[in-house]
Structure 1
């Protein structure tokens, strides 16, 4: 499975790691992915998804 959010399709971001001597090397900023079970009202069952922490916050805000 790829490192991608199943809800928002967020992926890793390219960035630089800058050392003390200001030498830049490329690195990846990965998404904060969490495995969660979400209750589906349409299917009336639990669904396992791999979603980002930001998506978890948004889902919690919408369902309240």
Structure 2
């Protein structure tokens, strides 16, 4: 399964790890994904989602009804 947030569509980010001698090596910054059950008022059932922690914090602002 791909490491993508189902609500915000966040995915991994490419970056560099820089040593003291300024040698750059590539690294991947993964998204902090969590499995969460959320109640849907329109569907009247629980939805099992794999969402980022940033989406969990701002869940009341985001609309999950478009899923």
Compute the TM-score of the two structures, normalised by the length of structure 2. Answer: 0.85
Q: Over aligned residue pairs, what C-alpha RMSD do you find? A: 1.4
Query: Structure 2, unaligned stretches of length 5 or more?
Result: 63-67
CA distance in 2, matches of 1:47, 1:20: 46
The structure richer in helix per residue is 1
Distance apart, 1:22 and its partner CA: 1.2
Compute the TM-score of the two structures, normalised by the length of structure 1. Answer: 0.89
| Structure 1 runs of 4+ with >4 Å offset | none
The aligned residue for residue 29 of structure 2 is 29
Distance apart, 1:19 and its partner CA: 1.3
